[in-house]
Amino acid sequence: MKCPILRKNESLGASPQGFSESLRSFLLFSDQRIQHMKNYTHITYTERYRIHGLIQLNHSIPYIAAQLGRDPTTIRREISRSGGYNQYDAEAAQRRYEQQGCQKRTPYRFKGLLKERSLTLLSKTDLEPAAIGPRLMLEHGSDMSVSHMTIYRYIYEDARQGGTLYKHLRTARKRPKPRKKIKTVRQLIKNRRWIDDRPKEVDAVERIGDLERDTIVGPANKGAIQSITDRKSSYCWLAQVHSKSARDNHIATRKLLKDVRHRVYSLTNDNGVEFADHLITAKYLNTTVWFCHPYQTNESSRIEQINKLVRQYIPKKRDIRFVQPKELAQICEKLNNRPRKKLGYLTPKEVFFNDSNLEKLTDDP
C-alpha cells in the first residue's frame, strides 16, 4: 500500500480519500517523541510508513529521526538506499529489506585444516598474523587464505578463556589496543599554506625578515619555550610560554616581534597544534604564515639549529617551567653575539641590524 501525497500546508482532514486510517494515526502520533532506543534494531515496516508520510509533509531528516527515536544517520541511510528523499517509497523499501534478508551469506568459519595450519605457524615460528595468510597461500595455494583480523580475534578470544596463544604475539597483548578517537594535530590546524607555495625570495635566503618559529618542550611535555630566528642572519628571540596552546603561543609571538613586525616578510613553522592560530598571527604581522610538511625537519633546519644551541644552556632534563625570563634574555644575548662561520664570522646581531637599518632593539623576550 502506497501513501498518498500530501502538500506541505494540507491537513489530514483535507487529505485524499485513499489516505489510510493507519497512516493517519501514525502521523498524529509523530508529534510525540519516542524514547531513544537503548539497543539497535532494524527499521520496522511501520517505521518505513512513518518515514514516507513525514517526507510527504516535507519534514527534514533530523526531524524524522527525532520522531522515530533514531539517529539521523540511520534515517539518512535508509532513505538513500531506497531511492533518495524525493523517491522514497515504504513498500519498495520493505521489499528490498525482505529480499536482502533472504540472501544470507554463509558465515566465515575459522576451522579445520586452515585453522590447524595457521595456529601451527603461529606457535612454532611466532609469525605475526599479518604474514600467516600470505605464507599459507604461498605454500598451499589461494584456497588457503585467512585474514589477519580473523587470527587476532581467535587469539583474543582464546586469551579470554585462559589460553596462551597471545604469548606468541610480539606485544603479548591479551586484548586489542584501543583505537584513538581524538583528532590528530594536523586535523586541528585549518587553512594551512604549505611551503611549496612560498615565494622564491624566501627560499633564496637573501633578505632579512623571513623568520622561522618553533617550540622547545620540557620533560613530560611540561613547560615550553618559543623560539624564533631570522633565516638569513640567525638572529633569534626566545620567550617562555605557560602552555603549548595556540593562544599562548600567539601572544608570545606578538611580544617578541612587536618592534620588528613591519619588517617581517614571512613566518615558517612546523605542524604543531600550538600554531593553530596562525591566521591571527599573520594578520598581526601583516604577512603569511607557512607550514612545513609533516616529519620534514630539514625544511626548518635553521630554527632546529637554534634550538640545538639553546639546549647547550637548557639541557633536556631541566624543567623549563622554572626558567626565568632574565636567563632567556642572557641566552639570546650570547647567541646573537656569537660569530658564525656562515656569516663570515660576523655575529647575528651585526648582520641583522646592519641589513635592516633598524635602531638598536631590546633583547628582552
Same domain for 273 and 344:
yes
Q: What is the DSSP letter of 303?
A: H
How many Å apart are CA 43 and CA 104, to the nearest integer?
Answer: 18
Same domain for 335 and 245:
yes
Query: Which ranges of the chain have pLDDT less than 50?
Result: 1-19, 28-38, 356-365
Same domain for 138 and 97:
no
Residue 266: strand pairing partners: 210, 288
Of 139, 168, 197, the residue that ends a domain is 168
With respect to residue 4, please indicate whether it lies within any of the assigned structural domains.
no
How many Å apart are CA 336 and CA 271, to the nearest integer?
Answer: 26
Same domain for 258 and 153:
no
Same domain for 294 and 163:
no
Query: What is the reported pLDDT for 216?
Result: 93
Residue 338 Cα to chain centre, angstroms: 41
With respect to residue 361, please indicate whether it lies within any of the assigned structural domains.
no
Residue found under cell 613553522? 269
Query: What is the reported pLDDT for 357?
Result: 39
Same domain for 158 and 32:
no
With respect to residue 147, please indicate whether it lies within any of the assigned structural domains.
yes
Instruction: Indicate yes or no: pTM above 0.95.
Output: no
Same domain for 137 and 34:
no
Nearest partner of 323 among 219, 249, 245, judged by Cα:
219
The domain of 122 spans 112-168
- Give the CA distances from residue 211 to residues 257, 264, 267, 276, in Å, rounded to whole numbers and listed in that order: 10, 7, 5, 17
With respect to residue 177, please indicate whether it lies within any of the assigned structural domains.
no
Nearest partner of 217 among 76, 311, 84, judged by Cα:
311
Query: What is the reported pLDDT for 297?
Result: 84
Structural domain count of the chain? 3
Query: What is the reported pLDDT for 353?
Result: 87
Residue 53, Cβ density class (10 Å: 0-12 exposed, 13-18 middle, ≥19 buried): buried
Residue 261 Cα to chain centre, angstroms: 32
Query: What is the reported pLDDT for 237?
Result: 95
List the grid coordinates of 15. Answer: 487529505
How many Å apart are CA 151 and CA 153, to the nearest integer?
Answer: 5
Query: What is the reported pLDDT for 104?
Result: 55
Domain with residue 269: its CATH number is: 3.30.420.10
With respect to residue 192, please indicate whether it lies within any of the assigned structural domains.
yes
With respect to residue 11, please indicate whether it lies within any of the assigned structural domains.
no
The pair phi, psi for residue 217, each rounded to 5°, is: -105, 145
With respect to residue 240, please indicate whether it lies within any of the assigned structural domains.
yes
- Pair 320, 225: CB distance under 8 Å: yes
Nearest partner of 320 among 228, 224, 226, 245, judged by Cα:
224
Count Cα neighbours of 313 within 13 Å in the Cβ-side half-sphere: 18
How many Å apart are CA 234 and CA 202, to the nearest integer?
Answer: 14
How many Å apart are CA 221 and CA 206, to the nearest integer?
Answer: 36
With respect to residue 6, please indicate whether it lies within any of the assigned structural domains.
no
Of 60, 79, 102, the residue that ends a domain is 102
